[in-house]
Chain A
């Protein structure tokens, strides 16, 4: 009997994130009711908007791509015990750096320019994560606060560059002054896989990277050490692991993935640096990673799920006249439910140990 209960309990624990999403959607349904909309019509429209046609499903995958990339960075950082809130800023500098590089070398062939632009985005993100990472490692500075500050600095940097040195000369000539860069050279674009849909090579890249991050975290010594530091820093230290170094590394890698997300958004979707390139992915990527239980492979379906919410929200908005911001409310509730349910899981685990 207790055996059965144990199995039920453990499988229920692995379902906790899904329970969290269901609860969040139920609360969302009540909010829809309160706003005078039929929740069934609304959610049906949401699902149709996200999966109803080939175009909409591909759009879901396009939205899922930056979520997955940011989520992979979050997986590495959180597994190393580091809370990286700096996704937004890392995406912005990643987008800026890849755009700047691609615009600076328009004559290079795509085979060189594209990887270099992607690498530039990763490097910029790594630096943006590296500053808080090194400060944490060397001086014990709280990384939550420094990553938030780095977000604000990245935003100002982008404001400056997109209104000054990097602004599209056409915007200046036309006196419209839209804060956006010139389009990047065509050979640097990520291949569109299924035109006319926006699905691009970046999606496949992200899935491949998810597998690589899984291998990295669970099959390599460095990955093992990052996880050991995250699980129990004092035990890791006792085992001879240089804890600060691996904490910094976790944040640098986390930043690199978010920076790559920015580069992929530029080279795959917008083909130029725009002001809103981060689009909240820095935060929603955290939701995706948490929902995937901080597992790189779990982050894949999680990103598709939250990508579908973001895409379907527009259709829902048109169907029941409830603003798409409802999705952010639901994302927030998912985070709160998932982190709150961890206590329940811990209690269950300690009960099993003692019984």
Chain B
């Protein structure tokens, strides 16, 4: 059994699925990274993802237009992100708790509408793999990296783009300033509220897309509570990745590779020799360890602290 497991085909398969499964984590966590860099923890990502997943699946079922489905999920994410911005910026609500409210709301709304409008339905046809010319023909490497569907490519391309926006643009500088010292940014004429609104709303949009990626690019189905914690993990991945896009990507890959590994164990390990549930615990335990012992050099100083003019 073990020799079978270490065969090249299986290892390639694990790497391929790992990269594929990283997609929802990446979308959600990169969006959340912007929110947190501006000083807001949006713990409602999970709820937004669920509504995004439902929207994507429903629109794809009704119209068979995958891009329209993705667009609608993004719009729903934007609306929920705006609501979260209002709650965090204007109402200055405790972010740990309001996020739980958003989670319950999204969990309830997505199952409500699914049961009411769709019930049990057939699988949709999701985005199909696109083989990149030349690169896709390289043995092994091509199979692992260059034969994915479009959302997988977009998710990974967003990593350098996010790093560039954050570190090389004026907008990124403003985001970082607002997250570290909002009073100072404010005194220089940067609107703290506007920056936080943009970042949290962008995070909401990305969460909507991340949710839609599940039915459109990975599973082709909708199930109640189908995100099963990915949104919460995305919030933690931002801490895990030290608030940097590359770090977030590595964290996302850790979770998705362990998931892929576990799926393959289930397929190959018919006698249940390896308790694969323990493998699934590993990334969570590692996340706790990184949270406990990792450096927090990039942590925005004003994280979770509402800003009010004149209160400082």
Contacts and interface: CB of A to CB of B under 8 A. Distances in A.
Contact of B47 (A149, A322, A332, A342): A332
Interface string B74-99: 00000000000001000111101110
B239 A153 contact: no
A325 B284 contact: no
Contact of B292 (A35, A139, A155): A139
A146 B115 contact: no
A335 B229 contact: no
A178 to B, nearest CB: 16
Interface string A335-346: 110011011000
B111 A323 contact: yes
B98 A331 contact: no
B6 interface: no
Nearest to A331: B104
B280 interface: yes
Interface residues of A, number: 49
A182 interface: no
B281 A156 contact: yes
Given A148-B232, A160-B277, 9 more contacts: A83-B96, A146-B288, A150-B288, A153-B284, A156-B280, A328-B108, A330-B108, A331-B104, A339-B97
Contacts of B92: 343
Interface stretch (A65-73, A92-100, A249-257, A282-290): A282-290
A334 interface: yes
A118 B111 CA distance: 34
A322 B112 CA distance: 8
B104 A328 contact: yes
B105 interface: yes
Contacts of A157: 277, 281
A326 B291 contact: no
A99 B163 CA distance: 49
A165 to B, nearest CB: 10
A331 B292 CA distance: 32
A334 B105 CA distance: 9
B285 interface: yes
A335 B98 contact: yes
- Majority secondary structure of chain A interface residues (helix, strand, loop or mixed): helix
Contacts of B103: 283, 332
A267 to B, nearest CB: 25
A29 to B, nearest CB: 14
B236 interface: yes
B100 interface: yes
A84 to B, nearest CB: 9
B288 A156 contact: no
Interface in A290-331: 290, 321-323, 325-331
A159 interface: yes
A212 interface: no
B248 to A, nearest CB: 14
B287 interface: yes
A133 to B, nearest CB: 13
A228 to B, nearest CB: 19
Contacts of A119: none
Given A148-B236, A156-B277, A340 B91 contact: yes
A291 to B, nearest CB: 12
A139 B295 CA distance: 11
Interface of A: 31, 35, 83, 85, 131, 135, 139, 141-142, 144-146, 148-153, 155-157, 159-160, 163-164, 283-284, 286-287, 290, 321-323, 325-336, 339-340, 342-343
Contacts of A131: 288
Given A157-B277, A328-B111, A336 B116 contact: no
- Majority secondary structure of chain B interface residues (helix, strand, loop or mixed): helix
Contact of B100 (A283, A340, A343): A283
8 contacts: A83-B97, A149-B284, A156-B284, A332-B103, A332-B106, A332-B108, A335-B104, A340-B93
B229 A333 contact: no
A299 to B, nearest CB: 15
Nearest to B94: A339
B232 A160 contact: no
B291 A339 contact: no
A142 B224 CA distance: 29
Contacts of A287: 104
B105 A336 contact: yes
A336 B112 contact: no
B288 A336 contact: no
B87 A323 contact: no
Contact of A339 (B101, B116, B224, B293): B101
Contacts of A336: 87, 93, 98, 101-102, 105
A323 B288 contact: no
A45 B287 CA distance: 45
Contacts of B239: 142, 145
A255 to B, nearest CB: 15
Given A164-B275, A332-B105, A332-B106, A153 B100 contact: no
The 8 A-B residue pairs with the shortest CB-CB distance, nearest first, are A328-B108, A332-B105, A335-B101, A332-B104, A329-B108, A160-B277, A340-B91, A336-B101
Contacts of A330: 108
B109 interface: yes
Given A322-B112, A332-B105, A141 B292 contact: yes
B283 to A, nearest CB: 9
Contacts of B278: 156, 160
Contact of B101 (A139, A142, A327, A334): A334
Nearest to A83: B96
B108 A159 contact: no
Contacts of B285: 149, 153
B226 to A, nearest CB: 14
B43 interface: yes
A342 B306 CA distance: 13
Interface in B236-291: 236, 239, 272, 275, 277-278, 280-281, 284-285, 287-288, 291
Contacts of A164: 272, 275
